[in-house]
């Protein structure tokens, strides 16, 4: 079961080794922390995406939910509410968007692609409307510490990322909810027949995704010292890429969060390395796209071989 995840890890190691040979700037403590910090936002969004994809769905609305939770957070912080209240409100906004997605998918019986495509536009529009299109900027140091703070030498976003992964991994592997995520993605009909409340659990799965987007929004807002209604564009694609590179099957039922974290790190390391090497931004897009396609191609080939 862990063979594929292991393959991804080797891919990451090889990538790091190549960059270490090509540039003296890659393998330094400060650069590796830099990569980890840059990866944290995509990695957190990809946790929710992994839950959804494991259950056989897809969530295109994560980037827009990042923007909406972000601006709600920004406005709450600006209106002199206690920081904790603002954080909870932002989390609730993300959770609510996710639960709406889930309810429409499970009770409305609509395809996840369509539902979340709609939410993508609705949440983006709501974020723009709420702020009249303008960014909300300038927060106090206490809040910004969520991005600028260090525990020892480890940046705060990296710690948040690791805590999120530990908690989500526990949920996915040690709870009945986690088992149902795999079961629904593996064979929804069989799961339903065995008496699992499919609709409820599916709704919760999309709720997890919305909540993760909100957590990412908190880090992003603290990092930029600004909440932008146009933030998070294309995050859905980065999160899907991290999940898929990490070996989670788009068909559902197979995959792991460890793989997703490694997938997100591969993307982060690639972007960082290409910057360090001074590769033109156009070529960077080609390389990143190539890696995604190759990873999925291998996934497909491996699966075909297994089934024959």
User: Please, what is the minimum distance in Å from the beta carbon of residue 28 to other proteins?
Assistant: 7
Instruction: Return the number of the residue (196 or 276) whose C-beta is nearest other proteins.
Output: 276
* Dist CA 154 CA 182 (whole Å): 33
CB 118 within 8 A of CB 108: no
Instruction: Return the number of the residue (202 or 271) whose C-beta is nearest other proteins.
Output: 271
Of the residues 36, 41, 100, 158, which one makes contact with other proteins according to CB under 8 A: 41
User: Which residues, numbered 135-174, are part of the site for other proteins (CB under 8 A)?
Assistant: 135, 137-138, 147
* Dist CA 241 CA 200 (whole Å): 27
Q: Helices 83-106 and 112-131 sit at what angle, rounded to 10 degrees?
A: 150
User: Please, what is the minimum distance in Å from the beta carbon of residue 27 to other proteins?
Assistant: 11
Q: What b/e string do you get for 6-37 counting C-beta neighbours within 10 Å, with b at 16 or more?
A: ebbbebbeebbeebeeeeeebeeeebeeebbb
* Dist CA 290 CA 276 (whole Å): 19
Q: Is 151 left (phi over 0), alpha (psi -120 to 50) or beta?
A: beta
Instruction: Return the number of the residue (104 or 146) whose C-beta is nearest other proteins.
Output: 146
Render 5-39 in DSSP notation, one character per residue: HHHHHHHHHHHHHHHHHH-TTTSSHHHHHHHHHHH
Asked if 223 is part of the footprint of other proteins (rule: CB under 8 A), the reply reads yes
User: Please, what is the minimum distance in Å from the beta carbon of residue 175 to other proteins?
Assistant: 30
CB 202 within 8 A of CB 99: no
Instruction: Return the number of the residue (101 or 256) whose C-beta is nearest other proteins.
Output: 256
User: Which residues, numbered 172-201, are part of the site for other proteins (CB under 8 A)?
Assistant: none
Instruction: Return the number of the residue (125 or 290) whose C-beta is nearest other proteins.
Output: 290
Locus of tokens 């024959």: 308
CB 217 within 8 A of CB 69: yes
Q: How many CB atoms lie within 10 A of CB 138?
A: 11
User: Please, what is the minimum distance in Å from the beta carbon of residue 135 to other proteins?
Assistant: 5
Instruction: Return the number of the residue (82 or 140) whose C-beta is nearest other proteins.
Output: 140
Instruction: Return the number of the residue (22 or 197) whose C-beta is nearest other proteins.
Output: 22
Of the residues 85, 108, 134, 163, which one makes contact with other proteins according to CB under 8 A: 134
Bridge-based pairing state of the strands 150-151 and 154-155? antiparallel
Asked if 2 is part of the footprint of other proteins (rule: CB under 8 A), the reply reads no
CB 77 within 8 A of CB 253: no
Render 255-267 in DSSP notation, one character per residue: --HHHHHHHHHHH
User: Please, what is the minimum distance in Å from the beta carbon of residue 107 to other proteins?
Assistant: 35
User: Please, what is the minimum distance in Å from the beta carbon of residue 132 to other proteins?
Assistant: 7
User: Please, what is the minimum distance in Å from the beta carbon of residue 288 to other proteins?
Assistant: 10
252: number of CA atoms within 13 Å, CB side?
21
> Pattern of binders to other proteins over 242-281, x per CB under 8 A?
-----------------------------xx-xxxxxxxx
Asked if 45 is part of the footprint of other proteins (rule: CB under 8 A), the reply reads no
Residues forming the site for other proteins (CB under 8 A) = 7-8, 10-11, 13-15, 18, 22-25, 28, 30-31, 34, 37-38, 41, 132-135, 137-138, 147, 220, 223-226, 228, 230-231, 233-234, 271-272, 274-283, 285, 287, 290-291, 294-295, 298, 301-302
């Amino acid at each position: 079961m862990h063979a594929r995840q292991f393959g991804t890890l080797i891919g990451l190691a090889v990538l790091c080794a190549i960059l270490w040979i090509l540039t003296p700037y890659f393998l330094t403590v400060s650069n590796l922390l830099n990569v980890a910090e840059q990866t944290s936002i995509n990695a957190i969004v990809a946790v929710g995406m992994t839950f959804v994809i494991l259950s056989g769905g897809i969530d295109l609305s994560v980037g827009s939910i990042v923007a909406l939770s972000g601006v709600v957070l920004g406005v709450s912080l600006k209106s002199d509410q206690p920081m904790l209240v603002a954080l909870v409100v932002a989390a609730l906004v993300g959770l609510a968007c996710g639960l709406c997605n889930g309810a429409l998918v499970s009770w409305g019986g609509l395809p996840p692609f369509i539902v979340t495509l709609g939410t993508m536009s609705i949440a983006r529009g709501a974020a723009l409307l709420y702020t009249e299109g303008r960014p909300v900027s300038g927060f106090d140091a206490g809040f910004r510490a969520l991005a600028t703070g260090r525990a020892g030498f480890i940046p705060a976003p990296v710690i948040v990322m690791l805590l999120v992964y530990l908690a989500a991994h526990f949920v996915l592997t040690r709870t009945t909810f986690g088992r149902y995520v795999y079961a629904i993605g593996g064979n929804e009909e069989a799961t339903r027949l065995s008496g699992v409340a499919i609709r409820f659990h599916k709704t919760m799965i999309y709720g997890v995704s919305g909540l993760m987007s909100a957590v990412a929004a908190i880090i992003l807002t603290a990092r930029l010292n600004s909440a932008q209604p146009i933030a998070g564009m294309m995050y859905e694609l980065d999160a899907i890429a991290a999940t898929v590179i990490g070996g989670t099957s788009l068909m559902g039922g197979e995959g792991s969060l460890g793989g997703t974290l490694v997938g997100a790190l591969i993307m982060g390391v690639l972007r960082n390395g290409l910057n360090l090497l001074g590769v033109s931004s156009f070529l960077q897009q080609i390389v990143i796209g190539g890696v995604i396609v190759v990873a999925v191609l291998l996934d497909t080939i491996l699966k075909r071989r297994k089934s024959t």
